[in-house]
Amino acid sequence: MSEAQKPTFEQQIQRLESIVGQMEAPDLPLEQAMALYEQGVQLARDLNQVLTQAQQKIEILARDEQGEITPKPMADPQT
C-alpha cells in the first residue's frame, strides 16, 4: 500500500475500536474472532510503531545544546 493510500493514525484507531466492538459480540464465530484478533494485533503493532517514531522525533527536537533531553513546556493553544 502506498503512502497516499495508507490509513491515517486516527483511521487506524477507529478500525481497532471497531474490531474490539465486533469481538465483544457474544455470538461471534470462532473463525471470525480469530481473524479479527489477528487484524487487531497487527493494527496495534502498527500504531505502536507510529507512536514510537513520533516519540523519537519529539526527543530529537527537545534536545538541548549538550544533547540532553530536557522537558520543555508545551505552548498553551489558547494563547
pLDDT digits 0-9 by tens, 48-74? 999 998 888 887 777 777 777 776 665
Half-sphere exposure of 66 (CA within 13 A, CB side): 3
The DSSP symbol for 67 reads S
Among residues 45, 49, 43, the alpha carbon closest in space to that of 19 is found at: 43
Q: Which residues contact 20 (CB under 8 A, 6 or more apart)?
A: 40
In the chain, how many domains are there? 1
Asked, for residue 76, whether it belongs to a domain, the answer is no
Asked, for residue 42, whether it belongs to a domain, the answer is yes
Give the range of the structural domain holding residue 49, as residue numbers without chain letter: 9-22+30-61
Decide if pLDDT at 77 tops 60: no
Decide if pLDDT at 5 tops 50: yes
